[in-house]
Amino acid sequence: MNLLITGAWPNAKAHISQIEAMGHSVMFLQMEKDELPCAPEWVEGVICNGLFLHHPITMFPNLRFIQLTSAGFDRVDMEYVRAHGIEIRNARGVYSIPMAEFAVSGVLQLYKQARFFHDNQRAHVWEKHRGLRELYGKEVTVIGCGSVGTECAKRFRAFGCGITGIDIMPRKDEAFDRMLPFEKLDEVLPSTDVMILTVPLTAETVHLFNKRRLGLLPHDAIVVNISRGKVVDEAALTDLLKEDCLAGAVLDVFENEPPQPDSPLWDAPNLIITPHNSFVGEGNVARLNRIIMDHQHFWKCDR
């Protein structure tokens, strides 16, 4: 197979000789936005992240295999992939552990008033806060029960939370107390203390959480979005936070990244903003290496 490998795989260069020894021809492109190191017609397989944002997939007439270094498929024209019978794999499970830990961390920061104590420490102020909350006994709803959602469920369960999953294909899973179809979402939200969004971005999930649906949550609920920014109507979320209709939110992803300096998000009360950083963890490289070099996920596609 003629493989184009990009720098989106951080450890790629350490594996190229091994890949070539298996009979594959390799070209390497460090920055996906740069000029291709080969003719598009040469490429039969790619290992990449956002390559097709800069080089349209239609440029590659002989493409038959894609290995993504991301968990999401939203940077690829999936209609084209399906229409042309291209096999595609994602980086399922690579980033789930740090993202789940991030979700727990964000909720705990809000529950335990981390910002209050941080500000007081910087100001050398000794002041107690009587409004700290417990995770124990809270109802957590995970929207999207793939690898990331399941890892979130495991960790919140360890705190003694009740866990409800909402997924397009409900199943029995010991990480969840129950898993329901999307048709039940509105029924679950009024009893949700913590809502974790790990749902993929599709045409159906754009602004899945608009003002009406966010308004179904209790006033003391926390929203955590570690999926894609467009899943949430940010203007509606900001309004609800300002109106004290939600206890807080943790956003690692945004409709436009980065938010503009004058975006009202920056000053919304009880909102934690991080720069699409929840996926970062020191174990990612090893997990990504295993997925890419796994015979079941890659080499058998050379048919």
Which residue out of 35, 79, 183, 257 is catalytically annotated?
257
Dist CA 288 CA 298 (whole Å): 12
Annotated catalytic residue, options 15, 276, 287, 297: 276
257 is catalytic: yes
Question: Rounded to the nearest 5°, which phi and psi values hold at 105?
Answer: -60, -45
CA–CA separation, 175 vs 195, rounded Å? 16
Active-site position among 24, 55, 155, 228: 228
- With contact defined as beta carbons under 8 Å apart, do 71 and 8 qualify? no
> What is the distance between the alpha carbons of residues 253 and 226, in angstroms, rounded to a whole number?
6
> What does the longest C-alpha to C-alpha distance in the chain come to?
68
DSSP 8-state class, residue 12: G
- Under DSSP, the state recorded for 40 is G
Q: Look up residue 165 and give its two tokens.
A: 């999953």
Q: Which residues are catalytic?
A: 228, 257, 276
